Amino acid sequence: MVKQLCILGSTGSIGTQTLEVVRAYPDRYSVYAICAHRSIDKLIAQAREFHPEVVCIADESLYEPLRDALADLPIKVWAGADAIAEVVTMPSIHVVVAAMVGYAGLRPTIEAIKAGKTIALANKETLVVAGEIICDLATQFHTPILPVDSEHSAIFQSLVGEDQCEIEKILLTASGGPFRTFTLEQMRSVTAADALKHPNWEMGAKITIDSASMMNKGFEVIEAKWLFGVPVEKIQVLVHPQSIVHSAVQFTDGAIKAQLGAPDMRLPIQYALSFPERLASDFPRADLFALQSLTFEQPDLKRFPNLALAYEAMRRGGNMPCVLNAANEVVNLAFRQGRCGFLQMSDIINETMAKANFIAKPTYEDYVNSDAAARRLAESLL
């Protein structure tokens, strides 16, 4: 059977690499729908190559040029957030690849879960913001959520065949990013251009900044808690600069299982699509002889307070992770635009969390309101 995919964020880093997997396995995967925020030229080129049924653009002002550019093809062209929330529910779709950036991924992911689509989840903000609602819905609608994030794919792969076994600890690895060895003094003056030079991974701009500040790792701790049902106290972050061990699970007998490989997102993407099978690939292999050594360090919470803020948000619970995410989206963009210093990002997130209204048992509406209020608060602190 050919699996029909809906790719949310098809023009981004995960989206384009998902299409590479589709290109390699046209007999297994077909593109039913692609959605992008505003990269219209890339979206048009993808539509011309993959001939999806539906092409969707989030930015409604780009609807007409997109429609006109595809007028000679039998493709439905839609626009806007409501259209994206609808496209994911279309009956022919088997798998929704959720690879939009940030909070915008929440609503379509919820709609896809309710429609019973298998979710290949790359948008970690969805679980950071509303992990409890997402997990409850996935249980209620019997919807599988397969992780695409490399660390969570590694944990997932380590857990295959271990259903009966208790997890003692999750060992979540982090590259440490471009400022791993910087002093606080050096970090004070780094720019977005410095932060965008990630040593090991090629990623989109937002997540690359989150990696440099280690907020990405904080989010991944929260993501792991929800995906694997492990309390955050049992999730240990290890800085592993070689990015070869993608994460590991320690069981109650002391055994540690890990997944290793070259840092290449196509592998976890392909595994999420092919699970429980493994498909052959020509992706680069990790050469263990060339590597010589694999090293592991404790993360430094003084230089990377975002990691501590993420644990704090989870300890407080309720809408706090949502507030954490909203404040981070504001400062991340401000830093890229030169409106905020690197270290100032953590200060503003911290202050936003301190001043935000706490809601212990948020509904979906509460999340929407908390997100908007935290954004306003963080903006006012810039």
For residue 107, the minimal CB distance to Mg ion (Å) is 23
Length of the chain: 382
C-alpha to C-alpha distance for 139 and 156, rounded to whole angstroms: 17
For residue 55, the minimal CB distance to Mg ion (Å) is 28
Structure tokens at 125: 């903000």
H-helix or E-strand spanning residue 5: strand 3-8
- How much is the CA Rg of the chain, to the nearest whole Å? 20
* Closer of 154 and 378 to Mg ion (Cβ): 154
- Which residues face 249 on adjacent strands? 170, 257
For residue 102, the minimal CB distance to Mg ion (Å) is 15
Which residues from 139-158 bind Mg ion, rule CB under 5 A? Answer: 149-151
Residue nearest to Mg ion (CB): 149
For residue 286, the minimal CB distance to Mg ion (Å) is 17
Structure tokens at 33: 């729908």
* Closer of 122 and 326 to Mg ion (Cβ): 122
Under the criterion CB under 5 A, does residue 210 sit at the interface with Mg ion? no
For residue 250, the minimal CB distance to Mg ion (Å) is 19
* Closer of 53 and 151 to Mg ion (Cβ): 151
For residue 246, the minimal CB distance to Mg ion (Å) is 8
* Closer of 52 and 268 to Mg ion (Cβ): 268
> Cα–Cα distances in Å, from 349 out to 177, 179, 263, 272?
20, 20, 30, 32
> Cα–Cα distances in Å, from 194 out to 147, 219, 239, 283, 330?
29, 22, 20, 28, 19
Tokens 């998902």, residue located: 18
* Closer of 111 and 149 to Mg ion (Cβ): 149
C-alpha to C-alpha distance for 167 and 177, rounded to whole angstroms: 28
* Closer of 118 and 150 to Mg ion (Cβ): 150
C-alpha to C-alpha distance for 136 and 215, rounded to whole angstroms: 25
Tokens 């729908």, residue located: 33
Interface residues with Mg ion (CB under 5 A) are: 149-151
